Structure 1
Amino acid sequence: MILVTGGTGFIGRELVRQLVSMGKPVRTLLRPSTNSPALPKGVPVEVAVCSLLDERGLRAAMKGVDTVFHLASAEHQSTGADLTQVDVEGTHQVALAAAQAGIEHFFFLSHLGADRASAYPVLRAKALAESAIVHSGVPYTIFRSGAVFGPGDYLFSGLTRLMRMLPIAFFLPGDGGHLVQPIWVEDLVTCMLMALESNAYENQVLSIGGAEYLSLREILKIIENATGMRRIPVEVYPATVRVFALWYEQTFHHFPLSLFWLDYLSSDRTCPVDTIPRMFGLMPARFNQQSEYLKYVSNPKTKRKQ
């Protein structure tokens, strides 16, 4: 049995779908909530309901489990995120429960640039979570991933919604020149599944990203080509962008992006482009090759092809 936390998220849903298609029995951990969970449709999975800090609930959720994929995170909740409770303490409790349950392999999804000394909350929280896993004694594989794109993503769909909200100009934090390394969600999940089937990646921290480095300016150009929207890039101080985003979110409660996107774009987030081909024998997709989904984000009334 495989336990997936964060199984209702963008990456988690794809992971659960592929695990089930491989014939793997899957249980997903859901936090107690009054909202209906966004489980993958038509995919048979077991469900365990408990919070990441519920020691007894976690022990029950891991009954009969030999592998854990821990994807749960609060970073997409923006100013409402409690990174300390969810990403740091939550991961510590999940890893501790996994070690006590004798879990054979613990997978964790982190970020390129994770660093305990980072000035940026998400990157610091991810590094602290990594440390909790490494010191728990459970066999682990940690994926430090580039920015993940695909239908339902957070960063690239959020940028598209932000462009739709700003009809003339797009305000770049700084010169928009910092580099990210977008990775297609199916490529990321494929790498995780290949690591599941091999002991070669045990007790390793793997930095992986897509086949190219892209600046924010280049990303916006690809979004424009995919959606037909055209915006004038205007450079402004990052602090100004942050203040505007914070004001908008607190006033209207639905800013298209988590404020943590500014942290992610504050410096280059890359690794060698040959990492996935070299380690997994896979040629990752480029962002412009798989960007068609963004036109449905820019125009929600457009019907997606079946």
Structure 2
Amino acid sequence: MRRCCAWREKTFTDHLGKKQGSYSSVNKEGHVESISMKVFLTGATGFVGSHLLQRLLHDGHHIRALVRDPQNSNLPTGPNIELVGGDIVEGTGLDEAMQSCEAVIHLVGIIMETRTATFEKIHHLGTRNVVESARRNHISRFVQMSALGARANGVSEYQTSKWKGEEAVRQSGIPFCILRPSLIFGPRDGFVSQMLDVMRKAPLLRPVPGNGRPKFRPIFIGDVTACFAQALTNPAATNKSIDLGGGEELTLNQVLAGIAECAGVRKPAVHIPMPLMFAGAALAQTLLPRPPVTVGQLRMLQEGSTCDVLPMMEIFSIKPLGFRIGLRTCLGSGAAPNSAATSSDFKG
């Protein structure tokens, strides 16, 4: 890792044409040099991880990605990417895989439990194992993906387990940055495609859970990856837990109406009472190995997921993308980079 005496902001243009901040070093002679790090990355095959991997490679980093099966990962190959096998829950292979790396980005997470993969195992114990290996390998930077709403007394085990993972990172003694995104959307996401599938299959009406009033700050995947890329080297992000949110605060009604509008789904909304939703979710959890929705997810939906985005914007010099522009990119219809969308565009 190159050591430097100062930092200078440069810009990175993503596939929407937006300029995003990144960082370069200024050497003793005053020449700007890019910082290339060897980064240990978990969760590279997931939604966020696959996008972040592309970003990190573009920025010139060398990536060592932890995967279950290096021979069948579907990840890109090249001189700057290594695929290594290991298990964060068992802790096997982590010490060897992390050797000679300078930084860790830990993304592994689940949104629904199975019999063998629980929130406690993945978010807490798995993170603790990665942290312990990072300490043994003298890692100089640990970047952790948590979630907005993570806290000790969360309304769901998902939130509580995410908090425990955060605590493992904070207590490690390693310089860290914890990023807590709101609802993430973009190409290849699960949320927009799942909501769209429900809207298209529902006869005549478009279902909305509850009164639709909980507030969210959906954040586009390109803005999320820009924050993670900067968190590796931005000194202003050191030892901070930073909330990530999009350019607008929207109600659930507005989020779902925006998806329907951009996808051309013209059905009136019908609000499903939450007691009925909870009863259905509890029954589905009892009968199905992978229910469409869980009680914990409904509790988090009721709570909403919004935040103050000013710290994110100030630390990373990012102006988050508008919801409509991101949706059009996600749904393949394109959008002008300077388009603007406000909450008043979506009625519902």
Identify the TM-score tier after normalising by the shorter chain: 0.7 to 0.9
Alignment counterpart, residue 129 of structure 1, candidates 154, 161, 165: 165
The 2-side partners of 1:158 and 1:260 are apart by 18
Deviations along 1:83-115, one digit per CA (max 9) or x if unpaired, are 111111101111111111111000011111111
Structure 2 counterpart of 1:265: 301
* AA partner of residue 51 (structure 2): E
Is 1:10 paired with 2:51? no
Alignment counterpart, residue 72 of structure 1, candidates 104, 108, 132: 108
The alignment-based identity, stated in percent, is 27
Q: What is the CA distance between 1:295 and its match in structure 2?
A: 4.0
CA separation of 1:40/1:212 partners in 2, compared to 1, >3 Å: closer, same or farther? farther
Whether the 8 Å contact between 1:75 and 1:258 is mirrored in structure 2 is no
* AA partner of residue 117 (structure 1): N
Structure 2 counterpart of 1:62: 98
Alignment counterpart, residue 285 of structure 1, candidates 279, 301, 321: 321
Whether the 8 Å contact between 1:29 and 1:48 is mirrored in structure 2 is yes
Q: What SS is found at the alignment partner of 1:142?
A: strand
Structure 1 counterpart of 2:23: none
Q: What is the CA distance between 1:10 and its match in structure 2?
A: 0.6
Please tell me the root mean square deviation across aligned C-alpha atoms, in Å.
Answer: 2.7
**TM-score of the two chains, using structure 2 as the length reference:** 0.77
The 2-side partners of 1:122 and 1:43 are apart by 37
CA separation of 1:250/1:158 partners in 2, compared to 1, >3 Å: closer, same or farther? farther
Is 1:233 paired with 2:269? yes
Structure 2 counterpart of 1:110: 146
The 2-side partners of 1:253 and 1:280 are apart by 41
Deviations along 1:60-102, one digit per CA (max 9) or x if unpaired, are 1101111110000122567885111111110111111111111
CA separation of 1:214/1:40 partners in 2, compared to 1, >3 Å: closer, same or farther? farther
Alignment counterpart, residue 244 of structure 2, candidates 174, 186, 208: 208
Q: What is the CA distance between 1:218 and its match in structure 2?
A: 0.3
Bigger Rg, structure 1 or 2: 2
* AA partner of residue 96 (structure 1): E
Aligned length: 296
Q: What is the CA distance between 1:170 and its match in structure 2?
A: 3.2
Whether the 8 Å contact between 2:61 and 2:80 is mirrored in structure 1 is no
CA separation of 1:12/1:229 partners in 2, compared to 1, >3 Å: closer, same or farther? same
The 2-side partners of 1:47 and 1:146 are apart by 29
In structure 2, stretches of 5+ residues that fail to align are 1-37, 334-348
Q: What is the CA distance between 1:221 and its match in structure 2?
A: 1.1
CA separation of 1:13/1:220 partners in 2, compared to 1, >3 Å: closer, same or farther? same
Q: What SS is found at the alignment partner of 1:85?
A: helix
CA separation of 1:293/1:247 partners in 2, compared to 1, >3 Å: closer, same or farther? farther
After the TM superposition, which of the residue ranges 244-253 and 271-280 deviates more from structure 2?
A: 244-253
Whether the 8 Å contact between 1:157 and 1:294 is mirrored in structure 2 is no
CA separation of 1:188/1:272 partners in 2, compared to 1, >3 Å: closer, same or farther? same
Q: What SS is found at the alignment partner of 2:308?
A: coil
Alignment counterpart, residue 130 of structure 2, candidates 75, 79, 94: 94
CA separation of 1:264/1:115 partners in 2, compared to 1, >3 Å: closer, same or farther? same
Structure 1 counterpart of 2:73: 37
Whether the 8 Å contact between 1:162 and 1:257 is mirrored in structure 2 is no
Deviations along 1:248-285, one digit per CA (max 9) or x if unpaired, are 67777776667654233121321124333322222110
Is 1:199 paired with 2:235? yes
CA separation of 1:144/1:76 partners in 2, compared to 1, >3 Å: closer, same or farther? same
* AA partner of residue 113 (structure 1): G
Is 1:180 paired with 2:216? yes
Whether the 8 Å contact between 2:155 and 2:300 is mirrored in structure 1 is no
Whether the 8 Å contact between 1:180 and 1:269 is mirrored in structure 2 is yes
In structure 1, stretches of 5+ residues that fail to align are 298-306
Alignment counterpart, residue 60 of structure 2, candidates 7, 18, 23: 23
The 2-side partners of 1:182 and 1:277 are apart by 15
Q: What SS is found at the alignment partner of 1:200?
A: helix
Q: What SS is found at the alignment partner of 2:319?
A: coil
**TM-score of the two chains, using structure 1 as the length reference:** 0.87
CA separation of 1:260/1:16 partners in 2, compared to 1, >3 Å: closer, same or farther? farther
